[in-house]
């Protein structure tokens, strides 16, 4: 398992060819597949839900990390787990009972993640550390691919490294939004170990070239870990 994982988001793929995109990403060396679920309420955009994930599942052996940008995620956890998710990431802003939600995800046998909007602080996550497998730091306001990276969120990544040292399952720290070869060095230097990237992978000359460019940009960076 490499130090820094590359998790391409199929939000930037051709939605009529999601199966092919998954096969191509695995061949191109992706580590995780990032699936952006949007409900038109928590975020202004709509994408796909459990039936589409169920249809994608047989096309990849890679872990599927489902990023739920939806209100009331608790109502749908079982459906996403049953559709083949390996990890389920909920937004803290959508979860008044975060400890209960994360515990429910882990009880389904899935990795539990929390996503933080750019304006959301890290405070409070220490209290759910025992049921937390990863944190997704949003470096754009969620809803769309291809937005500009917000560097002001990076101090949160450093703060999360301290959280990682507290008792609990091994903690991965992911950054999502505007991650490309230019922004990756700062992201990795801050201590992130999962790079989520949509347009940087799918707009590259090939999926392999896009993933390699991110790995290259991450390589050799002195990380705060
Ligand atoms: C944004 C999504 C991201 C998005 C990233 O709401 O959560 O995962 O796909 O796209 P890029 O890498 O193009 O910013
Ligand atoms: Zn995402």
Residue 203: what pLDDT? 98
Q: 196 and 179 in contact (C-beta within 8 Å)? A: yes
Distance of CA 86 to the CA centre of its chain: 12
Q: How far is residue 181's CA from residue 126's CA, in Å, rounded to a whole number?
A: 31
Question: What is the C-alpha end-to-end distance of the chain, expressed in Å?
Answer: 16
Backbone φ and ψ for 158, nearest 5 degrees, come out as -65, -40
Residue 28 has which token pair? Answer: 């191109």
Residue 1: what pLDDT? 43
Among 104, 98, 90, 102, CA closest to 39: 90
Q: How far is residue 207's CA from residue 183's CA, in Å, rounded to a whole number?
A: 18
Q: How far is the CA of 125 from the centre of ligand 1 (A)?
A: 23
Q: Does 36 participate in catalysis according to the annotation?
A: yes
Residue 114 has which token pair? Answer: 């929390």
Per-residue pLDDT of 18-60, as tens digits, reads 999 999 999 999 999 999 999 999 999 999 999 999 999 999 9
Give residue for tokens 């939600």: 101
Among 55, 205, 217, 63, CA closest to 134: 63
**Which atom of ligand 1 lies at the shortest distance from residue 67's CA?**
7
Q: How far is residue 177's CA from residue 196's CA, in Å, rounded to a whole number?
A: 7
**Which atom of ligand 1 lies at the shortest distance from residue 199's CA?**
13
31, 39, 133, 176: the active-site residue = 176
Q: How far is the CA of 162 from the centre of ligand 1 (A)?
A: 26
Name the closest ligand to CA 195: 1
Q: Which contiguous run of DSSP H or E holds residue 183?
A: none
Residue ID of nearest Cα to ligand 1 atom 4: 145
Cβ < 6 Å from ligand 1: which residues?
A: 9, 11-12, 34, 36, 67, 140, 142-147, 176-179, 196-200
Three-class SS of residue 60?
coil
Beta bridge partners, 197, equal 8
Residue 2: what pLDDT? 56
Q: How far is residue 105's CA from residue 74's CA, in Å, rounded to a whole number?
A: 9
Q: How far is residue 114's CA from residue 88's CA, in Å, rounded to a whole number?
A: 8
Residue ranges, the chain, pLDDT below 50 = 1
* Mutational test site, ligand 1, from 7, 46, 198, max ligand atoms within 8 Å of CB: 198
Q: Does 14 participate in catalysis according to the annotation?
A: no
Residue 169: what pLDDT? 97
* Mutational test site, ligand 1, from 89, 177, 178, max ligand atoms within 8 Å of CB: 177
């Amino acid at each position: 398992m490499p130090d820094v994982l590359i998790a391409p988001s199929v939000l930037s793929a051709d939605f009529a060819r999601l199966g092919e995109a998954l096969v191509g990403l695995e061949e191109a060396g992706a580590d995780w597949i990032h699936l952006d679920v949007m409900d038109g309420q928590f975020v202004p955009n709509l994408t796909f839900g459990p039936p589409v994930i169920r249809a994608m599942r047989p096309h990849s052996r890679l872990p599927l990390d489902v990023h739920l940008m939806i209100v009331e995620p608790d109502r749908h956890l079982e459906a996403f787990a049953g559709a083949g998710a390996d990890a389920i990431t909920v937004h803290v802003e959508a979860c008044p009972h975060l400890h209960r939600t994360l515990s429910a995800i882990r009880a389904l046998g899935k990795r539990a993640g929390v996503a933080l909007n750019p304006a959301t602080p890290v405070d409070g996550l220490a209290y759910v550390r025992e049921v937390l497998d990863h944190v997704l730091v949003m470096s754009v306001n969620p809803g769309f691919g291809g937005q500009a990276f917000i560097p002001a969120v990076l101090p949160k990544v450093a703060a999360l490294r301290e959280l990682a040292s507290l008792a609990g399952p091994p903690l991965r720290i992911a950054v999502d939004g505007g991650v490309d070869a230019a922004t990756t060095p700062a992201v990795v230097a801050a201590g992130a170990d999962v790079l989520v990237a949509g347009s940087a992978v799918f707009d590259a000359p090939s999926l392999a070239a896009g993933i390699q460019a991110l790995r290259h940009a991450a390589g050799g960076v002195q990380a705060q870990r």
